[in-house]
């Protein structure tokens, strides 16, 4: 059961423009959401997170938006840089549950 979905397997963006990565979830009990970034041959690296009590969290070039009614979150990267090229995983979990659910990932390519 795919409780966290990233429907776009890949995204290509020009350097300097905005990258928008999307994620949908089905479990309304999820109350914490995270984005991880993964380079080839490395483990995922935590990027940014958001609690369900918020609808936006910003950290430098990265902003995560949460729309609880739509069960949708997105990661905005602006301006995009070639070094941002990686696979981005969306993850979600609920309080008191050890099981963090990951999406299948979106491969972002930022072209110089």
Partner 1 sequence: NAGVMQNPRHLVRRRGQEARLRCSPMKGHSHVYWYRQLPEEGLKFMVYLQKENIIDESGMPKERFSAEFPKEGPSILRIQQVVRGDSAAYFCASSPQRSYEQYFGPGTRLTVT
Residue ranges in contact with partner 1 by CB under 8 A = 4, 6, 32, 34, 36, 41-46, 49, 89, 91, 93, 98-105
> Are the C-beta atoms of residues 78 and 18 closer than 8 Å to each other?
yes
Cα distances (angstroms) measured from residue 4 to each of 14, 15, 17, 82, 105: 27, 28, 26, 27, 10
Residue 65 Cβ vs partner 1, minimum distance, rounded to whole Å = 18
| Tokens 């950290």 belong to residue | 59
Residue 25 Cβ vs partner 1, minimum distance, rounded to whole Å = 12
Residue 82 Cβ vs partner 1, minimum distance, rounded to whole Å = 22
Nearer to partner 1, 66 or 89 (CB): 89
Nearer to partner 1, 62 or 102 (CB): 102
76, two tokens: 């905005």
> Are the C-beta atoms of residues 92 and 101 closer than 8 Å to each other?
yes
Nearer to partner 1, 4 or 13 (CB): 4
């Amino acid at each position: 059961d795919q409780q966290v979905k990233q429907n776009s397997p890949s995204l290509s963006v020009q350097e300097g423009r905005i990258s928008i990565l999307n994620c949908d979830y089905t479990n309304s009990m999820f109350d914490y959401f995270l984005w991880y970034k993964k380079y080839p041959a490395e483990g995922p690296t935590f990027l940014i997170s958001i609690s369900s009590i918020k609808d936006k969290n910003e950290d430098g070039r990265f902003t995560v938006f949460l729309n609880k009614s739509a069960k949708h979150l997105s990661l905005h990267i602006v301006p995009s840089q070639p070094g941002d090229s990686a696979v981005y995983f969306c993850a979600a979990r609920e309080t008191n549950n050890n099981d963090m659910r990951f999406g299948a990932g979106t491969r972002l390519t930022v072209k110089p």
